[in-house]
Structure 1
Amino acid sequence: MDAHYSVKGAILTGRYTPPTHYVFKIESFSKLTKAIEDKYSSDKFDAEGFSWKLSIYPTGDGSKNGKCHISIFLELDTSLAVGSDVNATVNLFVFNHFEDKYFSFQDGRVRRYHALKKTWGIAKFIDIETFSNPQNGYLLDDTCVFGAEIFVIKSSFKSERLSMMNEPSTYFQTWKITKFSSNLTTENYSSGYFGYYGWYILLCPDGIGKGKGNSISVFLCATKSKIPADTKLFTKFILRVKDQTDGNRDVEIEDNHMYSPDSILSGRVELLSLAKLQDPKMGFLVDDTVSIEAEVALLGLVMKEQ
């Protein structure tokens, strides 16, 4: 069970379980204090895929206003490239012999280690008066124990940035398919390319999926090689099968789609039934020709960020 203990106004949390990653026992602490000028650093130890060192200042780190206190710091001993970092929650401990518990500050903050800052710690970890008093249990028979545990936060989130266009570019295409009836035997046809990203209309004259044998399937596609890696195209598009008589019975869809190298196609598998298409009163098939229009507006770009 955790316990809480106040040391000169600072709240330490105590527990029976030893630190997860490192325990540093110092015998003849008073002799160590006399033998060194500022700090003693432990050997390297591994935790969470990185190498670390624990440093103890027996009389405090004066440069960080730690005078009259025990100062304790955890140093990352692994080389980091400029721009990279290690984010971790760090707990630093001191053992109380009387209570048989390890006490530490528990603020839950994430510490950011990077190439220009590879050390983090507490300059005023515990005041020397409290630590040195044998009745308090931290220094018993001139022996004390410190410890550390580190939990590196491994980021798994993805970051993207959407940049909307101030003046979206719109591209148009009109595609007339002649000798349509003879084309029903072929699975799909595509129009010519238009626009910067190589847009084209894809037609399955006998349908696919739910539209197989009963409808025409029509899609607006982008050319995969034209879309940069880690980029998506936020679009609004219209696909329209024209009524070539009076234009009052056009069939169309209007939709948004995010085109990417992994998603280059959007449309409908049942855009127009073959029965309506082939009905001469509807005006979709005139002189065995079908007219399909496409409009696509590039609304914005979505890009992955590191």
Structure 2
Amino acid sequence: MRGRTRRFHAVKNEWGFPKFISKKSLIDPFNGYLVNDDCVFGAEVFVIKSQGVVECLSMYEVGKPIHRSWRISQFSQLEYGWVSEEFHVGDHTWKMEVYPRGNGAEEDRSISIFLSLVDSSLTPSRKVKANYTVKIKHQNNGEDCIKSGNQWFACSGDDSWGWDEFMAISDMNDPASGYLVNDCCIIEVEISVQAIAHNSLSPPPKKMKII
């Protein structure tokens, strides 16, 4: 698998691939990945020469998360996807994206949901760290389907984080599940902004903490 250039630092010291290869492909003897129950892992790492970039980290006092909720009607009739109106959290602009028929490898298998930072006022050298929790509400007083994340969002255009495999389509469409009632579902998100980082070739302001 071809990698991407990533910056490792004290706040984000690991990167990887949450879906590197499917278990089915790994154990298929015709693919040659698993031989006599042994497999070999390898990695090529190239360290890019430092350009003297200084990363400034401005920490936020994390208070109560901002909560937003949407009721999506005619859910089963959505051909491609649903996008929320833009909303503001921590002086930044966000939106939610829901794909009722799935996204990527999970197409026709899972509901896919993503949170996107769409703040065009920020420069490409900046990024925002946020905690977020997304829910598909159970409408009959049952257990909500909940997933949480903590990520750095880049400000160079739309940057999305979320889940291709949020919930199985079969579970959503099951009349007894309580998630889809009268072809309507309820999506909720809670977000709290933790920090903003800024890369610069010049020294940071004195009030910034250097990482």
TM-score norm. by structure 2 comes to 0.66
CA RMSD of aligned residues (A): 1.8
- Structure 2 match to 1:188: 81
Residue by residue over 1:202-248, the C-alpha shift from the partner in whole angstroms, topping out at 9 and shown as x without a partner, is: 011100112100111001111141433321101110111111111x3
Partner of 1:261: 155
Matched, 1:227 2:129: no
Distance 2:64 2:95 in 1: 16
CA apart distance, 1:258:
0.6
Conserved? CA contact 1:173–1:293, under 8 Å: yes
Q: Does the 8 A contact of 2:75 with 2:184 survive in 1? A: yes
| Structure 1 partner of 2:189 | 294
Q: 1:155 to 1:180 in 2, by over 3 A?
A: closer
Q: Secondary structure at the match of 1:198?
A: strand
Alignment of 1:1-306 (within 5 A): 156-168=51-63, 170-183=65-78, 186-195=79-88, 196-246=91-141, 248-262=142-156, 264-305=159-200, 306=202
Whether the 8 Å CA contact 2:111–2:169 is kept in 1: the answer is yes
Separation in structure 2 between the aligned mates of residue 155 and residue 172 of structure 1, nearest angstrom: 40
Q: Distance in 1 between matches of 2:64 and 2:115?
A: 16
Please give the alpha-carbon distance, in whole angstroms, between the structure 2 residues aligned to 1:225 and 1:259: 13
Please state whether the residue corresponding to 2:77 is helix, strand or coil: helix
Q: Distance in 2 between matches of 1:279 and 1:272?
A: 12
Looking at secondary structure, tell me which structure has more strand per residue.
Answer: 1
Task: Measure how far apart 1:157 and its partner are.
Answer: 3.7
Long gaps (5+) in structure 2: 1-48, 203-211
Would the aligned equivalents of 1:187 and 1:204 in 2 still touch at CA under 8 Å? yes
Q: Distance in 1 between matches of 2:152 and 2:122?
A: 11
Q: Could you say what secondary structure the match of 2:172 adopts?
A: helix
- What do residues 130-179 of structure 1 show as CA deviations (whole Å, max 9, x unaligned)? xxxxxxxxxxxxxxxxxxxxxxxx96242212121124473221011101
Residue of structure 1 in register with 2:207 after alignment: none
The separation in 1 between residues aligned to 2:188 and 2:66, in whole angstroms, is: 11
Paired AA for residue 192 in structure 1: E
- Partner in structure 2 of residue 107 of structure 1: none
Residue identity matched to 2:179: F
SS, match of residue 173 in structure 1: strand
Q: Per-residue displacement from partner, 1:71-93 (whole Å, max 9, x unpaired)?
A: xxxxxxxxxxxxxxxxxxxxxxx
Report the 3-state secondary structure (helix = DSSP H, G, I; strand = E; otherwise coil) of the residue aligned with 1:267. Answer: strand
Paired residues, what number? 150
> Structure 1 residues 169 and 227 mapped into 2: Cα distance closer, same or farther (>3 Å)?
farther
Contact 1:219 1:265 in 2 (8 A): yes
Q: Which structure is richer in relative contact order (CA contacts within 8 A, separation 6 or more)?
A: 2
Name the TM-score, length of structure 1 as normaliser: 0.46
Whose radius of gyration is greater, 1 or 2?
1
Partners of 2:63 and 2:124 in 1: CA distance: 21
SS in 1 for 2:181: coil
Contact 2:127 2:152 in 1 (8 A): yes
Match of 1:86 in 2: none
